[in-house]
Amino acid sequence: MEKIMSDATSAVNVGSESVKTQNQIAMSLKDVAVSFNGKVAVRDATFDVTKNKVTSLIGPSGSGKTTLLRGLNRLHDLTPGAKVTGQILLEGTDIYRGDITVTELRTRVGMVFQRPNPFPTMSIYDNVVSGLRFNGIKKKSILDEVAEKSLRDAALWESVESRLKVSAGNLSGGEQQRLCIARALALDPEVLLMDEPTSALDPIATLRIEELMVTLKERVTIIIVTHNMQQAARISDDCAFLLMGEDRAGELIEFDATEKIFNNPKDSRTLDYTLGRFG
Amino acid sequence: MPTSTSEIASQREELAEKSASSSRGWYQWLLIGVSVLFAVVSISFVGSIIIYSIPAWAHPGTLLTGKGWQSPTGPFGGFAMIIGTFETSLIALVVAGIVGLGTSLSIVFLVPGKFRNIIATLVELLAAIPSIVYGLWGFLVLAPWMLKTFDPFVNKFPFASTIFGSPGQQFGPSLMLASIVLSVMILPTFVAISREVISAVPSEIIEASYSLGATRWQVIKDVVLPTAKIGLFGATFLALARATGETVAVALVAGGVANAQFHLLYPGTSIAAWIATQFGEAQGTEVSALMALGVLLMLINFSLSLISRSLVNRQRKVLARV
Amino acid sequence: MTMIDELVPQPENASTRDAIRRTAHAHRARRVAISRVMMILCGIALVLTSIPLVLLLIQLIVRGSSQLNATFFTKLPQSPSLVDPNAIGGVLNSIIGTLALTIYASIMAIPVGVLTGVYLAESRSKLAATLRVIAQTMAGAPSILMGLFGFTLIVKYLQIGFTAIAGSFALAVLMLPVIAISTEISVRNVPDTLREAGLALGAKPHKVSLKVVIPSALSGIVTGCLLAVARAIGETAPVLLTIGGGYLNEWRPLNPVSALPLSIYMNAKSEWPSQRAQVWGIALVLVAFVFVLSLTARIWASRKQKRNS
């Protein structure tokens, strides 16, 4: 047991805490690279995502943050010609080669997208429970219970309680995004991927989503892609900095506790970026 | 240089006013004149057919429900043609709708990206093939095959005589053949439109449903089809409009007999096909009777395209909300 | 609450989560299997669609190409007889007739259609709104009705008789709404900034329209016209009721002419096997015309799109 643990920690970069047991790691990436039709888009991603923390991926556009994130719930399976190499472990299971099916993986690793994308033909209630229904859960009591809990967790319950049957298209942008978060939470995932979740929202809605993320990490591990450095500094515990290499492929430059990345990075390029000298 | 949006807006208004004030120039008059000419042509299109059909409306009952067509004196009953039109188009629509929807779904969700555009282009080219070519194929290839293989085959089934007519009847050109040719003919049209409607469903909500653990079929059934539903109905009505108005293909393969019956392997005809086949020899009141059939066809077609257009517009609004 | 519960953060709905996970797991294999089956059915639909269409194309090419020779393109048709059942001649009259019909129809339809389309795009009047509905309805009208119109107006009312002009008028009525609609779309797609730039420079509105807007929309307009011609060239029903037909080498507007789709329709029902075989050649030539026109239109449109992006 001792040996396995040390293997798991020695092989990877060290995150917010210098010593971690495997139990505290939600996802572990090792030499992960994504390529499209042989052309590498991002590579060299090696880091551990700690449970119940917010890990942010930052870097200028073209550095492959979103591409990397979409590899974590196998969304690249939908793109012909896309290939993910390296190892991505979810609770110790390789998500590409382990005995985990892609539909199961996606119930355990949820995703929130850049633009709010509720299902336009469904009501608020149907949107929240859609993941459960996809997965064969039909019992009304469970659906009702989970719908309320997820909407509460997404801080949306008070404002929609009386209009659950209304079409989701009637909500404001910020409410729609919180609905999408509730929809992802309904399946009670272990990890929640968020791809620039506030980039399409106004500052007040953004603030509310950020507050939400801080409370949510009690319940779910969050990995967030953001181009907003203040946001990364405010809400994330660990931070991965990616940059586009000379061959126009993104690569991981540095992974560390957020505080270190912003105040005392190892790589000078990280400092330049966080100070706003480029990007 | 305008510096604020309000300045730009006011400048826009000025420019609009400017164009309005000089709208009485020769160019505007030319545009209006030509457009009015277009309106006159369209109105006389509808009007002339109606005017020439008036004598036949002396017996509206015969025209709509009469079962015989006695050239050249009358009575002229349109029941067989009306029934034939709906029989053939509806069968064609059901076949083409089901097969076509599956085809569009597999083009969007199964065919790899590289081939998708090639297939889409091919489908659109096939939709451009003149209908006479589909009719020709049905008449010279399918009809003999129906005579030799299909008819003896289906007549082995016990229920065959109710649907296909009594056994041993050797018919090639028939309502059945017309339905088959029509379905093959409207398939490319239906696939071209429905594929477009389906690929217009935003990829964001497709990815969202995959991210919730949905299988590919669940994504299609629970998200794509409900979102595209109205547009798909629009495509269906458009295909139906095309099938009901098809003339020469049906004239070649339906058999051209004015018999109102439901046995699909017997010859029949449709409104459009009957006009085309009878027009050459028609005289006097028979011409007006054929014109009256044309008015019927116009009513059917215009209402179908009205429905289809309003559905397509509603689909646009649904997608605009996403 | 025990001490351990407070120390180890545990979701309060752990039991619900377990129930969800268990149900989801129990259904997973079945869901995946259903999805497979349905996707296979969709694939079968694709094959079912392809079979008749591919068969049709192959038979058209194989049977059609064997008919194409010098006689086919350069001689007039003959009536076969028992003495010489293969004396069918060529289809020169139909080729010439189709070209003449198409040219006359284009001369009538393109100017009116394009200008109507420009008006629809640039005017916000009630007349324009009404015209748009009329154009959209006309664009889907069955072609046999255009034939009836050509017959009533030109053949009967104006007493001109079965002539090329009657047929091309019917085809022009068919092309008009198609051209008007596609022109309207292309003109609307011209960015407002371009229009405003012209007006801001002090140009008169009609100059802006003629020198800026229409030239930028030109390739879209041409594409629409080509597609309209491609549709008109293959229509049988309108010409069936209007052009009269015949075996003569005729193109003049006021005389009866023949056309490719008309001779397909007539000869397909011929009792002579030689004439029925020749029909495949005519159909191949007709489809070739249509494909060349549609492909040109498509390439034109995509090149324009590339240049814009």
pLDDT, residue C7, reads 41
The boundaries of the domain holding residue B200 are 59-321
Q: Is the dihedral of CA A221, A64, A256, A18 positive or negative?
A: positive
C215 touches B at CB < 8 Å: no
CB atoms within 10 A of CB A246: 6
Q: In chain C, which residues have their Cβ closer than 8 Å to the Cβ of A132?
A: 20
B210 touches A at CB < 8 Å: yes
Asked if B322 and A120 come within 8 Å (Cβ–Cβ), the reply is yes
pLDDT band at C196; cut points 50, 70, 90:
confident
C90 touches B at CB < 8 Å: no
pLDDT band at C44; cut points 50, 70, 90:
very high
DSSP string of B161-189? HHHH-STT---SSSHHHHHHHHHHHHHHH
What is the spatial distance between Cα C71 and Cα C67, in angstroms, rounded to a whole number? 9
Query: Could you tell me the two tokens for A50?
Result: 């700690």
pLDDT, residue A170, reads 87
Q: In chain A, which residues have their Cβ closer than 8 Å to the Cβ of B319?
A: 120
ipTM of the complex: 0.88
Contact B181, B253 (CB under 8 A): yes
Residues of chain C with CATH 1.10.3720.10: 92-308
Asked if B276 and C35 come within 8 Å (Cβ–Cβ), the reply is no
pLDDT band at B4; cut points 50, 70, 90:
low
Asked if A136 and C17 come within 8 Å (Cβ–Cβ), the reply is no
- Please measure the distance between the N-terminal and C-terminal CA atoms of chain C and give it in whole angstroms: 64
Asked if C28 and A146 come within 8 Å (Cβ–Cβ), the reply is no
Amino acid code (one letter) for C24: A
CATH class entry, domain C92-308: mainly alpha
Which residue in B177, B248, B309, B313 has the most chain C C-beta atoms within 10 A of its own C-beta, making it the best mutation to test that interface? B248
pLDDT, residue B172, reads 76
Backbone angles phi, psi at A200, to 5 degrees: -100, 10
pLDDT, residue A21, reads 62
Q: In chain A, which residues have their Cβ closer than 8 Å to the Cβ of C24?
A: 104, 107, 135-137
Query: Could you tell me the two tokens for A77?
Result: 């399976």
pLDDT: which is higher, B258 or A35 = A35
DSSP conformational letter for B157: S
Q: How many domains in chain B?
A: 1
Mean confidence (pLDDT) of chain C: 88
pLDDT, residue C184, reads 94
H or E element that contains B236: helix B225-245
C16 touches A at CB < 8 Å: yes
Q: How far away is chain A from the Cα of B237, in angstroms, using its nearest Cα?
A: 22
What is the spatial distance between Cα B287 and Cα B56, in angstroms, rounded to a whole number? 9
Asked if C48 and B294 come within 8 Å (Cβ–Cβ), the reply is no
For B11, the closest chain C residue by CA position comes to C200
* Residue B81: CATH number of its domain: 1.10.3720.10
> What SS3 class is residue B270?
coil
Asked if B208 and A135 come within 8 Å (Cβ–Cβ), the reply is no
pLDDT, residue B267, reads 84
Backbone angles phi, psi at C167, to 5 degrees: -65, -45
Q: Is the dihedral of CA B265, B269, B270, B273 positive or negative?
A: positive
Q: Is the pLDDT of residue A13 over 80?
A: no
pLDDT band at A3; cut points 50, 70, 90:
very low
pLDDT, residue C135, reads 93
What is the spatial distance between Cα A255 and Cα A253, in angstroms, rounded to a whole number? 7
Q: Is the pLDDT of residue A84 over 90?
A: yes
Of residues A110, A43, A103, the one with CA closest to residue A249: A43
Contact A48, A223 (CB under 8 A): no
Question: Which member of B112, B202, B213 has the closest CB to residue A131?
Answer: B213
What is the spatial distance between Cα B317 and Cα B223, in angstroms, rounded to a whole number? 17
* Mean pLDDT score, A8-21: 47
DSSP string of chain A? -HHHHHHHHHTS---SSS---GGGEEEEEEEEEEEETTEEEEEEEEEEEETTSEEEEE-STTS-HHHHHHHTTTGGGGSTTEEEEEEEEETTEETTTSS--HHHHHHHEEEE-SS----TTSBHHHHHHHHHHHTT---HHHHHHHHHHHHHHTT-HHHHGGGTTSBGGGS-HHHHHHHHHHHHHTT--SEEEEESTTTTS-HHHHHHHHHHHHHHTTTSEEEEE-S-HHHHHHH-SEEEEEEE-TTS-EEEEEEEEHHHHHHS-SSHHHHHHHTTS--
* Mean pLDDT score, B129-146: 92
Taking CA atoms, A234 is separated from A168, A226, A270, in Å, by 30, 12, 17
- Residues B147-183 as b/e (b if ≥16 CB within 10 A, e otherwise) read beebbeebbeeeebbeebbeeeeebbbbbbbbbbbbb
CB atoms within 10 A of CB B9: 11
pLDDT, residue B26, reads 82
C35 touches A at CB < 8 Å: no
Query: Could you tell me the two tokens for B89?
Result: 């188009």
Length of chain C: 309
Q: Is the pLDDT of residue C5 over 60?
A: no
Kindly report the pTM of this predicted structure: 0.86
Asked if B35 and C131 come within 8 Å (Cβ–Cβ), the reply is yes
Asked if B209 and A130 come within 8 Å (Cβ–Cβ), the reply is yes
Q: Is the pLDDT of residue B138 over 80?
A: yes
**Percent residues over pLDDT 70 in chain C:** 94
Burial class (CB in 10 A: 0-12, 13-18, 19+), C160: middle
Mean confidence (pLDDT) of chain A: 87
Which residue in A106, A130, A137 has the most chain C C-beta atoms within 10 A of its own C-beta, making it the best mutation to test that interface? A137
Q: In chain B, which residues have their Cβ closer than 8 Å to the Cβ of A81?
A: 113
A225 beta partners: A57, A195
> What SS3 class is residue B144?
helix
For A150, the closest chain C residue by CA position comes to C13
Q: Is the pLDDT of residue B38 over 90?
A: yes
Indicate the range of A22-36, A53-67, B21-35, C275-289 predicted with least confidence.
B21-35
In a domain, B15, yes or no: no
What is the spatial distance between Cα A192 and Cα A188, in angstroms, rounded to a whole number? 9
Of residues A100, A38, A39, A40, the one with CA closest to residue A72: A100
Q: Is the pLDDT of residue B147 over 70?
A: yes
C128 touches B at CB < 8 Å: yes
Instruction: Kindly report, residue by residue over C50-62, the tens digit of the pLDDT.
Output: 999 999 999 999 9
DSSP conformational letter for B88: H
Question: Which member of A52, A107, A218 has the closest CB to residue C24?
Answer: A107
In a domain, B165, yes or no: yes
* Mean pLDDT score, C105-119: 95
> What SS3 class is residue B268?
strand
Query: Could you tell me the two tokens for C141?
Result: 């009208």
In a domain, B9, yes or no: no
Of residues A259, C35, C280, the one with CA closest to residue B219: C35
pLDDT band at C247; cut points 50, 70, 90:
confident
pLDDT, residue B251, reads 92
pLDDT, residue C197, reads 87
In a domain, B258, yes or no: yes
Q: Is the pLDDT of residue A19 over 70?
A: no
HEC assignment per residue over chain C: CCHHHHHCCCCCCHHHHHHHHHHHHHHHHHHHHHHHHHHHHHHHHHHHHHHHHHHHHHHHHHHHHCCCCHHHHHCCECCCCCCCCCCCECCHHHHHHHHHHHHHHHHHHHHHHHHHHHHHHHCCCHHHHHHHHHHHHHHCCCHHHHHHHHHHHHHHHCCCCCCHHHHHHHHHHHHHHHHHHHHHHHHHHCCHHHHHHHHHCCCCHHHHHHHHHHHHHHHHHHHHHHHHHHHHHCCCHHHHCCCECCCCCCCCCCCCECCHHHHHHHHHCCCCHHHHHHHHHHHHHHHHHHHHHHHHHHHHHHHHHHHHC
pLDDT, residue B315, reads 80
In a domain, B48, yes or no: no
What is the spatial distance between Cα A95 and Cα A27, in angstroms, rounded to a whole number? 10
Q: Is the pLDDT of residue A6 over 60?
A: no
Taking CA atoms, C126 is separated from B244, C117, C123, C308, in Å, by 32, 15, 9, 32
Instruction: Kindly report, residue by residue over A107-161, the tens digit of the pLDDT.
Output: 999 999 999 999 988 999 999 999 999 999 999 999 999 999 999 999 899 999 9
In a domain, B292, yes or no: yes
Backbone angles phi, psi at B155, to 5 degrees: -75, -5
Q: Is the pLDDT of residue B294 over 50?
A: yes
In a domain, B6, yes or no: no
Q: How far away is chain C from the Cα of A58, in angstroms, using its nearest Cα?
A: 29
Mean confidence (pLDDT) of chain B: 85
Query: Could you tell me the two tokens for B100?
Result: 């076509």
